Structure 1
Amino acid sequence: MRTLFPSLGRMLAAAALAMFMAAVPAWAFAVPHVFLVQNSGWMEPFYSDPQSQFKPLVGALAGSVVQPGEAVVLAAFNQSLPGAPSPRALLSFKAGQDSAQKITQALRGLDTARKPGSAALADTDLGEAVQAAIAQALGGKPGIVWLFTNNRNSPNNDQATAERNREFYQLIHGGAAITKALAFPLRMPVKGEHYSANGLMVYAFAVGAEGNRALDALLAARRVERVITEPPARLKPLDRDTVRLAPRKVENAPGVRFATAPNGVLRADVAPDARQPTARIEWNLENTMYPYTISSATLSARSTLGGENRPISLASSKVSALAPGKPAPLGSTMTLPVAQIPDKWSAQALKSAGSAYVLPGTIQLHLADQKLELSQAFRQRMAALFPGDPLPDIFIPPARVQASTAVLPVEVRVHYGMGPLLALGGAALALLGAAGAAAYAYARPRVAHLTVEDELRTMRARPGTTQPIYDKAGQQVAQLKTTLFGHQLLDLREGAQVKVRLGR
C-alpha cells in the first residue's frame, strides 16, 4: 500500500491543515500549498552539481507564493516501494514571514534516493506523487500542488516514457479534482556524475474551485513572476477563458464611451440622454492559451445587459491562425439596453446624481469547432530543454476539447448631472418656505378691536380659536371666532350691543 507520509509526517501535516482550516474564513483566497520535489535517480545532476540552482529555486518560489497563515507541506518523491514510501514529508508548518528559509533549510540535506537495500537509484512516478498530494496531503480539499521535476516519468525504470507521460497527463486532463494546470519549462543546465540535464519543469496544479481562484490571484499579483519569468504553458482548462476581448474603437454611438477598467471589466459610460440603440465596436481578439495557436474556430457572441439577452452581430464568424500575443481585429454591432436606462427625473437617476447608475452584465464569446495546435517554437524549446523526451506531443489537447467560452464582464454606467436634483431641491426649499410662512401666519395672534356697550376692548386670538365676550355685568353676550382671514361674531345675544373692528 502506498502512503504519502510516515506516521510522524502525517500527524504534522494533519495538524497544520487543521490549524489552517480553523483560522481562515471560507471566503478567503488562502489555501494550503503542497510542494513536491523529485529526488529520483534522474534528478542526480540537480543535487550533485555544485552550481545547481534547484534547491534555491524551490525556496524562492515558496517564499513568494505562500502567504502568512497558509498551511505548507514539503515532500520529496520518487516511486513508492515497500519500506520506502513516496512521497515522504520533509516539513509541515503554518507559514509566517520565514517560509523561504524553512523550505531551504529542510531541503539542505535532501539527496537522490536509492531503492531499499540496493545501490540502485530510485525510479520516478509523477502520477503517484500528484495523486497522493491531492488525496492525502490536502485530504481532498482545495489547495495548490507545486511539482518540481525533470519530466522523466519512468516507474520501475520503464523506458516507455511517452506512455508514462500520457498516463500523467490523463490524470491532469481527465481528473475532476485538478481545475487548473500550468507548466513552467525552465532552463537549468546541470552536470552530475551519472547524468546531465538542460532544463527543469515546474507544475502548478490548482485543486478545487478555491484552489483555482487562489492560483489566479497569485498570477494576477505576479507573485510567481517574481521568481519564474518564463510565461506558463496552460494545460487546463482549454475550454474557457481562452480568448480576451479588448475594445479598440467605437462608432455610431453618440453619448457612449467604452473603456476597460483596471480589473478587466468593460465599461460603457453613457450620457442620460443617449438613445442610440446600437453601437459598433472594433475589438482586438487575443488568444490567452499559450503555447497553443487557435488554428480555426467558429465565433458567436451574446450580451446580457440590464436583464436583456441579445445576440451580438460579428463582422466575421471565423477565426484562424490566432497565435498567443498576436491580436486579430474583430468588428461587432451590439445593442445597448437603452430601455433600461432610467429617466433623469426617476428615483434611480436622482439617487445617482453626481455619480453613475450601473447596469451590470456580460459579453459571452463562444468558439465552436475549435482546433488547437502546439506552436513549433514551443516544441523546439521543449526539445532543447528535454532532449529525447516526447513531452511536446503530450501537450496536444484532448479530442473532447472542441469548444470554449470567454466571458467579459460589462458595466453600463449612466452618468447623471446635478441639475435635476438641484431643481428638485430648489422646489422643495420653496415649498418648505411657503409652508413655513403659512405656519407662521397661522400661529401669529390676530388683534380684534371691539365695542361692548360703548366700552372699547382689545382681544388677541390665534386662528382657529373661539373666545367668549362678556358685558359689564359679566354675562356672555357673544363669541369671537378668529380665522386666517379675520374675525366673526357668533351667538350674539338679542339686544346686545357688540361691534367688531378687525385688526392685524
Structure 2
Amino acid sequence: MRRALASLATRLALLAAGLLGVAAPAFAIPQVVLVQNSGWMEPFYSDPGSAFKPLVTELVSSVVQPGDALVLAAFNQSLPGAPSPRALLSEQADAKTLHAHVQAALGGLQMARKPGAGKSGGAALADTDLGEAVNAALSQVLGGKPGLVWLVTNNRNSPNNDQATAARNREFYALIHRGAAIDKALAFPLRMPVKGAHYSANGLMVYVFAAGREGTRALDALLAAGRVQRVITEPPARLKPLDRDTVRLVPRRVEGAPGVSLAMDAGGRLRADVEPGATAPSTRIQWQLENTIYPYTIADASISARSMLAGENRPIELAHHEVKQLSPGRAEPLASTLQLPVAKLPGKWSMAALKSAGSAYVLPGQIELHLAGQRLVLSQAFRERMAALFPGDPLPEIFTPPAEIQASTAVLPLEVRVHFGSGPLLALIGGVLAALAAVGGAAWAYGRPRRVQLTVEDELRTVHTRPGATQPIYDKAGNQVARLKTTLFGHQLIDLREGAQVRLGP
C-alpha cells in the first residue's frame, strides 16, 4: 500500500513540478484539488439532482488563476492495487480551457471500490482517509513548497471502515492545528441534500489549506477578490490560525484633539489625518471591537493595546480590559486614549514639511491589540447548522481550538498623515526669488561700466572704469599724479602726488 501511494505521489509530484517549471506569471501559485469518491459519497454521485460535480467545476474554475499549476485528483483510502489520491487532471491553467477540462475530468469520476470487488459489491466500496489525502498533497505534490490544497468531502473520515469517526476526525484536525505545513485553514459547510441507493446526506464540506506565507497571501487575495464567494456564499469557518487577528478595531469617533480625524482606508489601514497646528499630546478614540473569528465566540479574554509610531512604543489606555461572550460578527464599544507623537511631527518650516507641501507627510506605524487568557467556544448557531448538515457527526466538538492556544494578537496598520499647505513653500520660493533678484541686481550693478569726470590741471577728462578697478591718472607731461579707485558705491582718488592738480568732477 505504501509503495503504491509513494508511486502515485511521485507521479503527481512530477506532474506538478513540470507545471511549475513552465514560465508563468509571478503571481502563479500551485493548487491541488482533492475530490472524495469513497463509498460514503455514494448519494452525491448517484442522485440525478446532485450538484456535487457542477459545484466542484465552478469552484475550480473560479479560484484557479491563469498560469497556476493545477492538480485535480480523486481520493478515498489507499490500498495495494488501488492508490489514493489518483490524478484526474494536471495542467497549467488556461482561462479559455480550464472549465471544460475540469468538467471533462470530473464527468467520468465514479465511486471507488476496493481491489477485487465486483461491480455490484456495495460493501466493497472504498473507505476514506482524509489525513492521508491531505498529507500526500502537501508533502508529495507540493513537495513542502507554498501552495493551496482544496478538499471536497462529506466529512466522513473512516479508514478501514472504522466507525470511530470522532477519533479519526481528531487525528485529521491534529494535522491541521499542529501540522507545521499548514499556515491557514478554512472550512465551508454547504447545504446539499442528496439521496442515493445506500445513503442520504444533507451537506458537503469544502476545506482549503494554505501552505507557506505565499499560500496564505494567495488565499487572502482570492477571498478579497470575491473569487470563492462567486460559488460559495457561506462564510468560511476558520480552523487556523486562532492566535492572531481574532478581533478588529474600527474607529467611530475622535474626542479631545482638534485638528485630528480618523478613517479606515480600503486596505484596512487606519489613517490619522492631523492638521499642522494640532498640538494635543493625546486623543480619545471611540472604537468598535469586532469578533472576526467565525464561528467562535470569545467567551472571555483580557485585552491590552500598544501603539508603535515614530520609534515610540507606548501603551494605549483602554476604558476596560475584559471581553466576554463576544459572538462572531458582533461588536462592542471600546474607548481608548492614544498618545500622539507631537514631538516627532515636523514643523511647518522644516525641510520635511516643505517637501510635503500640498500633500501629506506620512508617519507609518501600527496598533497592536493583545488578547490574553483567550477562551474560544464554538457558537451555538454554528453547532446547530453543523447538526443539520451532518446529523450524528461529532465534528463540532472537533472544531474546539487546541488547549495551548490561549492568546492572540491583532495588528492594525496605522498612518499619521500631517497635511501641510503650500503657503510656507510659496513664501520660501518668493523669498528665494527675491534674494536671487537682489543678487542679480547687485551683480549687474557691480559689473556695469562707469563714466567718471576728472579735472587734471584744468583739463576736463572722462574716464571709463568698473567697480573694483583701480587705474592710474597722468598729467599732461605723462607723469602719474594719482590713482582712481572705483567701488560699487562710488569713486575715490588715492596716492595723490604732492602738488598735483587733480580732482573729481569738472
The normalised TM-score by structure 1 is: 0.94
Query: Is 2:162 the partner of 1:164?
Result: no
Equivalent in the alignment of 2:231: 227
- Structure 1's 275 and 213: CA in aligned 2 closer, same or farther, altered over 3 A? same
Residue deviations 1:164-186 (CA, integer Å, cap 9, x gap): 11100000001011011000000
The 8 Å contact of residues 6 and 85 in structure 1, kept in 2 or not, is answered as no
Query: Is 2:124 the partner of 1:106?
Result: no
Query: Is 2:460 the partner of 1:456?
Result: yes
Residue deviations 1:136-192 (CA, integer Å, cap 9, x gap): 111100111011001111111111111111100000001011011000000111222
The 8 Å contact of residues 3 and 87 in structure 1, kept in 2 or not, is answered as no
SS at match of 2:67: coil
Alignment of 1:17-36 (within 5 A): 17-19=20-22, 23-25=24-26, 28=27, 30-36=28-34
Equivalent in the alignment of 2:408: 404
Deviation at residue 109 of structure 1 after TM alignment: 1.2
Deviation at residue 11 of structure 1 after TM alignment: 3.0
Equivalent in the alignment of 1:209: 213
- CA distance in structure 1 between the aligned counterparts of 2:411 and 2:269, rounded to whole angstroms: 10
The 8 Å contact of residues 4 and 89 in structure 1, kept in 2 or not, is answered as no
Query: Is 2:128 the partner of 1:124?
Result: yes
The 8 Å contact of residues 4 and 136 in structure 1, kept in 2 or not, is answered as no
Amino acid at match of 1:102: H
Amino acid at match of 1:68: P
Amino acid at match of 2:240: K
- CA distance in structure 2 between the aligned counterparts of 1:480 and 1:132, rounded to whole angstroms: 102
The 8 Å contact of residues 61 and 99 in structure 2, kept in 1 or not, is answered as yes
Equivalent in the alignment of 1:51: 49
The 8 Å contact of residues 320 and 334 in structure 2, kept in 1 or not, is answered as yes
Equivalent in the alignment of 2:94: 96
SS at match of 1:79: coil
Of 7, 11, 14, which residue of structure 2 is paired with 1:11? 14
Amino acid at match of 1:112: M
- CA distance in structure 2 between the aligned counterparts of 1:495 and 1:108, rounded to whole angstroms: 126
Query: Is 2:273 the partner of 1:269?
Result: yes
Deviation at residue 5 of structure 1 after TM alignment: 2.7
The 8 Å contact of residues 243 and 405 in structure 2, kept in 1 or not, is answered as yes
Deviation at residue 455 of structure 1 after TM alignment: 3.6
Amino acid at match of 1:143: G
| Contiguous gaps of at least 5 residues in structure 1 | none
Equivalent in the alignment of 2:396: 392
- Structure 1's 169 and 8: CA in aligned 2 closer, same or farther, altered over 3 A? closer
Deviation at residue 493 of structure 1 after TM alignment: 5.0
- CA distance in structure 2 between the aligned counterparts of 1:495 and 1:311, rounded to whole angstroms: 90
The 8 Å contact of residues 49 and 191 in structure 1, kept in 2 or not, is answered as yes
SS at match of 2:440: helix
Equivalent in the alignment of 1:65: 63
Alignment of 1:414-493 (within 5 A): 414-472=418-476, 476-492=480-496
- CA distance in structure 2 between the aligned counterparts of 1:43 and 1:18, rounded to whole angstroms: 35
Alignment of 1:130-141 (within 5 A): 130-141=134-145
- CA distance in structure 2 between the aligned counterparts of 1:185 and 1:228, rounded to whole angstroms: 9
Deviation at residue 491 of structure 1 after TM alignment: 4.3
SS at match of 2:461: strand
Residue deviations 1:183-202 (CA, integer Å, cap 9, x gap): 00001112222222111100
- CA distance in structure 1 between the aligned counterparts of 2:17 and 2:419, rounded to whole angstroms: 54
Of 305, 308, 314, which residue of structure 1 is paired with 2:312? 308
- CA distance in structure 2 between the aligned counterparts of 1:12 and 1:365, rounded to whole angstroms: 44
Residue deviations 1:98-128 (CA, integer Å, cap 9, x gap): 3222211221111111112223111111000
SS at match of 1:168: helix
Q: Which shifted more, 314-323 or 8-17?
A: 8-17
Alignment root-mean-square deviation, CA:
1.8
SS at match of 1:400: coil
The 8 Å contact of residues 68 and 93 in structure 2, kept in 1 or not, is answered as yes
Equivalent in the alignment of 1:193: 197
Deviation at residue 474 of structure 1 after TM alignment: 5.3
**Number of residues paired by the alignment?**
497
- Structure 1's 9 and 340: CA in aligned 2 closer, same or farther, altered over 3 A? closer
The normalised TM-score by structure 2 is: 0.94
Q: Which shifted more, 345-354 or 319-328?
A: 345-354
- CA distance in structure 2 between the aligned counterparts of 1:468 and 1:86, rounded to whole angstroms: 111
SS at match of 1:19: coil
| Contiguous gaps of at least 5 residues in structure 2 | 119-123
Residue deviations 1:428-482 (CA, integer Å, cap 9, x gap): 2221221122111111111111234444332222211223444556555543322
Deviation at residue 308 of structure 1 after TM alignment: 1.4
The 8 Å contact of residues 298 and 375 in structure 2, kept in 1 or not, is answered as yes
Amino acid at match of 2:83: P
Of 363, 370, 374, which residue of structure 2 is paired with 1:366? 370
Deviation at residue 8 of structure 1 after TM alignment: 5.3
SS at match of 1:171: helix
The 8 Å contact of residues 266 and 409 in structure 1, kept in 2 or not, is answered as yes
Equivalent in the alignment of 1:41: 39
Residue deviations 1:304-332 (CA, integer Å, cap 9, x gap): 12221111111111111101111111111
- CA distance in structure 2 between the aligned counterparts of 1:493 and 1:117, rounded to whole angstroms: 136
Q: Which shifted more, 166-175 or 345-354?
A: 345-354
The 8 Å contact of residues 462 and 482 in structure 1, kept in 2 or not, is answered as yes
> Identical aligned pairs, as a percentage?
71
Residue deviations 1:316-369 (CA, integer Å, cap 9, x gap): 111111011111111112211111111222111122122111121111111111
